[in-house]
Amino acid sequence: MKLNKLLLLLSLTLPISAFAAFENHPAGGRSSAICNASVTLTDLWSSFNNQAGLAYLTSPEAGISYESRFRLKEMSYKSFAFAYPLKSGTIALSSSQYGFNLWSESKVGLAYAKSFNRYFSGGIQLDYLYLNKEDPYGNKSILTFEVGILSKISNRIAVGFHLFNPLNSSISEYSDERLQACLRLGASYKVSESFSLMAETEKQINDLPTFRCGAEYELNQFVCFRTGVNTSLSSFSFGTGITYAHFHFDLSSSYHQVLGFSPQASVTYVF
């Protein structure tokens, strides 16, 4: 028990490794397996990673994801997403919850994405954020938004841009604590039909930029393998994806050299 509390304290005091209040966190086992270098991915979990990627969905999809952050139940991260493609674009509903009874953060998002041609798409999402803290600190709710752009320069190269909370919203009424704006810029390169590379950088207003990269290898149409590294955190990740009928199963884990493993699993159903 003491060890768990120590790990929890360490994780909460690391500004990048841990969840700051209302930190924008990517979701999905595929994203986690490549160290969240996911700004150019085009799947259901673009609801969290870059809404512009939703524009390329061709069927309705729904999914759930669960991450055991450093294998501590107090830091578990649960998320859900549903996307429905229309003739005029794709709409999506997403939600997530992180924390435990003394401190929990919830997020609900409503997104719209549209592909303007085969090379370019954009997306926007309205977010409702709710922070639940034990008395006497009280609760806090915030309305904000995020936007994303995705450009498929060629059949092999894609570039993505995502901006979360450009409003730099205030969190505390008694201090100048603010919900940080977060900018992500990345690219992917399809080396062959079965092998892809991804890289991206992330910058929050008050933090140093971080850099991460990943790789994905498709063994066949049913199984793929993934790995990634975050140079700023000296951490790495790995995972696999399995497709069976209408289901996509993604299993992954990241490893921090101080805090250990963070396993994650997600399931997506394609209607």
Detail the DSSP E strand segments found in the chain. 61-68, 76-86, 89-100, 103-117, 120-133, 139-152, 157-164, 182-190, 195-204, 210-218, 223-230, 235-244, 247-256, 260-270
pLDDT of residue 108: 95
Facing residues of 105 across strands? 98, 131
Domain ranges of the chain: 2-270
**Residue 13 confidence (pLDDT) above 50:** no
pLDDT of residue 136: 58
Q: In this model, does residue 47 exceed pLDDT 90?
A: yes
What average pLDDT does this structure show over 212-228?
95
In this predicted structure, the answer to whether residue 17 has a pLDDT above a threshold of 60 is: no
Using alpha carbons only, what angle is made at residue 231 by residues 229 and 237, rounded to the nearest 5 degrees?
20
Query: Is residue 237 predicted with pLDDT exceeding 50?
Result: yes
User: How confident is the model over 113-127, as a mean pLDDT?
Assistant: 94
The predicted structure's pLDDT at residue 18: 40
DSSP helix/strand/coil, 269? strand
Please tell me the predicted confidence (pLDDT) of residue 15: 39
Phi, psi torsion values for 187, nearest 5 degrees:
-145, 155
- Amino acid in position 185: L
Mean pLDDT of 22-34: 87
> What pLDDT, on the 0 to 100 scale, is given for residue 140?
80
Query: What Rg, from alpha-carbon coordinates, does the chain have?
Result: 18
Cα–Cα distances in angstroms (integers) from residue 224 to residues 135, 215, 228, in the given order? 47, 11, 14
Q: Is the pLDDT of residue 7 over 90?
A: no
Q: Ranked by mean pLDDT, which of 45-54, 139-148, 197-206 comes out on top?
A: 45-54
pLDDT in tens, 143-176: 999 999 999 999 999 999 999 998 877 666 655 6
CATH topology of domain 2-270: Porin (2.40.160)
pLDDT confidence of residue 138: 66
Tokens of 107: 């997020």
DSSP states along 188-245: EEE-SSSEEEEEEEEEETTS--EEEEEEEEESSSSEEEEEEEETTTTEEEEEEEEEET
Q: Are 162 and 151 a contacting pair, CB within 8 Å? A: no
Asked if residue 136 has a cis previous peptide bond (ω within 30° of 0), the answer is: yes
pLDDT digits (tens, 9 = 90+) for 59-102: 999 999 999 888 888 788 999 999 999 999 999 999 999 887 77
Q: Which two tokens stand for residue 78?
A: 């649960």
